[in-house]
Structure 1
């Protein structure tokens, strides 16, 4: 297989001119200078990640037994940053560089709070230099960035940063700050979002049909990226313990969505606290420990604010027109995740 080529003239052109052809308004400020050499270095640092779920891992039911995505080399010791769901409860991990060389690897850290994970190959990478981490903020909305995945045949492509706002996921996940860019790429899991100086500002998490805020009348498909600046305060903890202190928090074992201003359970993980308490899909959550809940984000934050240790949550739900009181055990999410040797 022939390795994809980095096309500096193409990257320079699209990042400098912008993405007006995508049907978006011109950037509110002049495009930033493009450092083609740094972008080429960034493209070379993106690797493909392949993983197989641990036999019997609960996450295999929703994330799949075989997973493939991307990661980006960020450390001089070949440390790779990727998205956590790609490697959660996995083993038989390997990475493939842009020159099509394959290396066995291991999970160094997987953090449920940030949604980020760290990997390291078992052997030194050949001629792959790490990239620097950067930041993107509201002042960068409208600017053009570059997206790259480790999928064979993919090239670096332009994407415009459309918004910076919070994100709440149905799987007990919340970010106070997330990056939303368009047009979307299909191979988004763990893909790198780079500024025009080749700094890594985001790691690909989701493909969304509409990334625009509710206040914006436009509907635009795109990707949500986890900001890499979330790694900074927790890097040393993740290297030392396999996760950040924020991930040591209670877990219910649910998927939930907001519908018409109400929180509805869409899935209950088998043998989770929610399952053992008798919570079922379709139920509406009315209150937690007697406090009404106005949003899914508030629900999650109240759960996470509860101290770990012996105790229960008092959950009031409505199911088929009947109101019920359930007691859910307080359980540490990190203690429920199956981990391969070495983490």
Structure 2
């Protein structure tokens, strides 16, 4: 294990040496060994009857980045969502039980804390806004594949996910890291600037370029206190329908309806095309979400217009708070 770590450390040091540093850091290169120790593997087991098990499975593995001196680890939320058993494995292969700390549906972040005996130097949080298209960075992962992968930022843009998810600005990098879930995007100063969420085929719009989408860490700062104190942000929750929607040539097609969700109760079906919300038309999936969320908080009645065949039908969905449909920290 130590020989492997030395080899990986040497490789990471070469990558970091090729990245530009900022004048504010005095051109001091980060400590590759410390960076490696701050990256951990997270293994999660969820109950088979949990809602997320249907789409994400009951056994999940991904990466996390240590962000404080007491074992607090930042990762992607879908990895730990509804996890009943969590385990963290450090750079030396030692495993520790971990506890759920927080999940934020809006940003997609999740946090866990490693148990007694865990020690690792934390990563510093960087300025994700300062990362520009064309900048070099490195992706660090412990869930399989290359531990360290040099990448370039190929785009910064809005991202709308089919699961009622919207980022005003996401970070897209290429080439793709196959073990992207919770992977750390680190800039040339050794600071954490993003957390891995997806692999995509259009890292640059209009081009067939594979890459990864990262959630910028700038989205963490305004909610960090809430996540530590309450396990979730304290903003008024958005209305949730429970639909997976695919955007195709300007059309929004329902691919899946979550069981026991507001949409299922209202009779929304896979194959429906959503053509209006609240008496308004929309141009994109992101536009649909913004118009939906502007109707009011979770619980608001959402008047949809749905096309089935050649007919447009009104369907009113009584929305809900998504987190009330999840068991965020279940026990067997």
Using the size of structure 2 for normalisation, the TM-score is: 0.92
Which stretch shifts more, 153-162 or 75-84?
Answer: 153-162
Among residues 105, 108, 122, which one is paired with 1:130 in the alignment? 122
Cα drift, residue 124 of structure 1:
3.6
Q: Is structure 2 residue 179 aligned with structure 1 residue 187? A: yes
Q: Is structure 2 residue 323 aligned with structure 1 residue 334? A: yes
Contact map agreement 1:168 1:297 (CA 8 A) in 2: yes
| Closer, same or farther: CA 14–339 of 1 in aligned 2, 3 Å | closer
Q: Is structure 2 residue 153 aligned with structure 1 residue 161? A: yes
Which stretch shifts more, 312-321 or 245-254?
Answer: 245-254
| Closer, same or farther: CA 3–16 of 1 in aligned 2, 3 Å | closer
Cα drift, residue 243 of structure 1:
1.1
Q: Secondary structure at the match of 1:236?
A: helix
Cα drift, residue 190 of structure 1:
0.3
Aligned counterparts of 1:14 and 1:335: Cα–Cα separation in 2: 44
Contact map agreement 2:82 2:330 (CA 8 A) in 1: no
Q: Secondary structure at the match of 1:137?
A: helix
Cα deviation, 1:217-260, whole Å, max 9, x if unaligned, reads: x4311100100111001000011111113472211001002111
Matches for 1:256-271 after TM superposition, within 5 Å = 256-271=245-260
Among residues 264, 272, 296, which one is paired with 1:275 in the alignment? 264
Q: Is structure 2 residue 241 aligned with structure 1 residue 252? A: yes
Contact map agreement 1:35 1:196 (CA 8 A) in 2: no
Contact map agreement 1:193 1:201 (CA 8 A) in 2: yes
Q: Secondary structure at the match of 2:226?
A: helix
Aligned counterparts of 1:172 and 1:153: Cα–Cα separation in 2: 30
Task: Extract unaligned runs of 5+ from structure 2.
Answer: none
Aligned twin of 2:12:
11
Aligned counterparts of 2:223 and 2:307: Cα–Cα separation in 1: 39
Aligned twin of 1:22:
none
Q: Secondary structure at the match of 1:274?
A: helix
Q: Which aligned runs of 4 or more in structure 1 are off by greater than 6 angstroms?
A: none
Cα deviation, 1:133-184, whole Å, max 9, x if unaligned, reads: 0123376221211111123674322111111111110111000011111111
Q: Is structure 2 residue 267 aligned with structure 1 residue 291? A: no
Cα deviation, 1:83-137, whole Å, max 9, x if unaligned, reads: 00001111111110011010001110001000001100221413x1111101233
Aligned twin of 1:171:
163
Cα drift, residue 320 of structure 1:
1.3
Contact map agreement 1:3 1:98 (CA 8 A) in 2: no
Computed over aligned residues only, the root mean square deviation of the Cα atoms, in angstroms, reads 2.1
Contact map agreement 2:144 2:179 (CA 8 A) in 1: no
- How many residue pairs end up in the alignment? 326
Aligned twin of 1:229:
218
Aligned counterparts of 1:219 and 1:310: Cα–Cα separation in 2: 40
Among residues 50, 72, 75, which one is paired with 2:65 in the alignment? 72
Which stretch shifts more, 190-199 or 300-309?
Answer: 300-309
Contact map agreement 1:137 1:164 (CA 8 A) in 2: no
| Closer, same or farther: CA 77–247 of 1 in aligned 2, 3 Å | farther
Contact map agreement 2:272 2:308 (CA 8 A) in 1: yes
Among residues 195, 199, 203, which one is paired with 2:191 in the alignment? 199
| Closer, same or farther: CA 35–140 of 1 in aligned 2, 3 Å | farther
Using the size of structure 1 for normalisation, the TM-score is: 0.89
Which stretch shifts more, 7-16 or 85-94?
Answer: 7-16
Matches for 1:35-46 after TM superposition, within 5 Å = 35-46=28-39
